[in-house]
Amino acid sequence: MQYLSTRNGAGPVDFRDVVLSGPASDGGLYVPAHLPSISPEAIASWSWLPFDELVWRVVSPFVGGALDEQTLRRLLSDSYKDFTHRAITPLQQIGHNEWILQLFHGPTRTSKDFAAQLQARLVRHFLDESGGEALVVGATNGDTGVAAIEAFAGCPNVRLAVLYPRDGVPADRLAVLRAADPRRVQLFPLEGSFDDCQTLVARLFRAWPLEGVIPVCFNSSNWVGVLAQIVFYFHAALQLGGGTRPVGFSVPAASFAEIYAGFVAQKMGLPINQVIVSTNSNDALHRFLHRNRYAPHASQRTLAPAMDFSLYSNLERFIWELYGRDGECVKALMAQFEASGELSIGNPQWLQARVLFDSYAVDEAEVRREVLRLKAETGAVVDPHTAVGALAGRLHRRSLGAPMVTLGQIAPEKSALLLRELGVWDDELAVAPAVDDDLPALARDDLDGLCRALRAVSP
């Protein structure tokens, strides 16, 4: 399998080079040169497979000859060894043909563990082969950074640099970040938003300051962040319909990687009849799909902090698909976006996006009511992110005859304060420790300061 850049100026490269990377050198994102096509008969035959075997069937076509079968199987199986549920991603029924796919049984209790655990094993394997050293860099508003720190803990030839908004990380996640070993994890708070952190990370990769150190991104601009999530859709569809019955999905927009992964699964042949992009009051994606105007703006603090941003890097991969994989068109569009802060696509492409995706924005009052409603009517306790997806899925499903699956990305206990306030959390309340975040903060666009700090500790 070869990979190209969405902007047509980098590649082709193989899977190994994609794993050991961030954005492509031309500023685009790496994408497979072609998507594997799986026949309906083959998909139906996978319904009995255990999870790690299903993962191998889905992932192996994207790896090509970069890993032999035995090694890839071992790395994939090892990625799930610390998950606490036998099913890895169990389904929970919350209504007639309504389900939650629980993606929070990994080490840090969020769906971010899937990409982080796999990426850490792949990075370590390829570095062990070459004898190289990597700095794994990324932006977080909590869960992604925590998952990366946990996953890369056993990688001796890897250090991490984690950028986060000074005022945008929940206290419990911040406590975990601050507890990381400073000898292998550098923390960089920013006087800005999570979107500012993502922008600065992208600029850092274009002006990489550390000669001899391989730059790797732990955000989903790295293809592994998408690849690890494609299997979610196959697993749910096989459980609910044997791979032959159409299934719909409601995806809380905590990134666009999960949404794009669903698009890839559909293109591979999975019978997905609907994908709902579920947003809260940070509704940049909803407005893009409804008005053909994508304009990231200052995010609001909400009950679902993982959704408190409006800059979605993986949207570029989807636009590349909409334009028939025309990298020159995407390059021009992204240059316009970076110059103006707004993006509109051609009307034929927008209409195609409207066919592929529905969307719905849920306000804060609706989130609270949905948490209470699910507890009262089903006994299910869900976090606010899952409540966003569940409500959007129920209100905007196209077919009552097709199962509707909400991706449950975050464990309820990670929202224990709110759930306790609403009276739906009965366990003893664990109060996050007070954290004095006294690290000096970078200005939102201080690339020079970030580069100096990285050089100062580079071996």
pLDDT digits (tens, 9 = 90+) for 131-157: 889 999 999 998 999 999 999 998 999
Of 163, 58, 89, 135, which is closest to residue 408 (Cα–Cα)?
Answer: 89
Q: Is pLDDT at 436 greater than 80 in this prediction? A: no
Over range 383-395, report the average pLDDT: 96
Going by pLDDT thresholds of 50, 70 and 90, the confidence category of residue 279 is very high
Q: What is the pLDDT of residue 168?
A: 84
Tokens of 150: 């946990």
- In terms of pLDDT, which residue wins out, 58 or 440? 58
Exposure of 427 by Cβ count < 10 A (0-12 exposed, 13-18 middle, 19+ buried)?
A: exposed
Two tokens at 35?
Answer: 């998507």
Encode pLDDT of 23-72 as tens digits: 999 999 999 999 999 999 999 999 999 999 999 999 999 999 999 999 99
The pLDDT, as a whole number, for residue 342 is 93
Does the structure show a pLDDT above 70 at 251?
Answer: yes
What's residue 425's pLDDT? 80
Supply 416's token pair.
């224990």
Half-sphere exposure for 145 (CA within 13 Å, toward CB): 33
Taking only the tens place, the pLDDT of each residue in 173-211 is 999 999 999 999 999 999 999 999 999 999 999 999 999
Question: Residue by residue, what is the 3-state secondary structure of the chain?
Answer: CCEEECCCCCCCECHHHHHCCCCCCCCCCEEECCCCCCCHHHHHCCCCCCHHHHHHHHHHHHHHHHCCHHHHHHHHHHHCCCCCCCCCCCEEEEECCEEEEECCCCCCCECHHHHHHHHHHHHHHHHHHHCCCEEEEEECCCHHHHHHHHHHHHCCCEEEEEEEECCCCCHHHHHHHHHCCCCCEEEEEEECCHHHHHHHHHHHHHCCCCCCCEEEECCCCCCHHHHHHHHHHHHHHHHHHCCCCCEEEEEECCCCHHHHHHHHHHHHCCCEEEEEEEECCCCHHHHHHHHCCECCCCCCCCCCHHHCCCCCCCHHHHHHHHCCCCHHHHHHHHHHHHHHCCECCCHHHHHHHHHHEEEEECCHHHHHHHHHHHHHHHCCCCCHHHHHHHHHHHHHCCCCCCCEEEEECECHHHHHHHHHHHCCCCCCCCCCCCCCCCCCCEECCCHHHHHHHHHHHCC
Average pLDDT over residues 238-248: 93
Question: What pLDDT sits at residue 428?
Answer: 58
Nearest to residue 159, comparing CAs of 183, 179, 126?
Answer: 183
Per the structure block, which two tokens stand in for 412?
Answer: 């309820």
For the record, the structure tokens of 366 come out as 């609706």
Instruction: Tell me what pLDDT residue 136 has.
Output: 97
**Average pLDDT of the segment spanning 248-259:** 93
- Calculate mean pLDDT across residues 240-254: 92
**pLDDT at residue number 17:** 96
Token pair listed for 257: 């990687």
Q: What pLDDT is attached to residue 300?
A: 87
Per-residue pLDDT band at 429 (split at 50, 70, 90): low
Task: Give me the pLDDT at residue 427, please.
Answer: 66
| Percent over 70 (pLDDT), the chain | 98
Residue 255: predicted pLDDT: 85
Render pLDDT for 204-216 as a digit per residue (tens, 0 to 9): 999 999 999 999 9
Burial of 84 (0-12, 13-18, 19+ CB in 10 A): exposed
Of 371, 393, 296, nearest in space to 337 by CA: 296
* pLDDT at site 433: 64
Distance CA 277, CA 294 (A): 14
Query: Is a pLDDT exceeding 60 seen at residue 430?
Result: no
Residue 129 burial (10 A CB sphere; 0-12, 13-18, 19+): exposed
Out of 6-15, 412-421, 427-436, pick the least confident: 427-436
pTM for the full predicted model: 0.94
**Distances from the Cα of 208 to the Cαs of 31, 164, 293, 441, in angstroms?**
22, 19, 32, 20
For residue 432, pLDDT over 80 is answered with: no
pLDDT band at residue 129, thresholds of 50, 70 and 90? Answer: very high
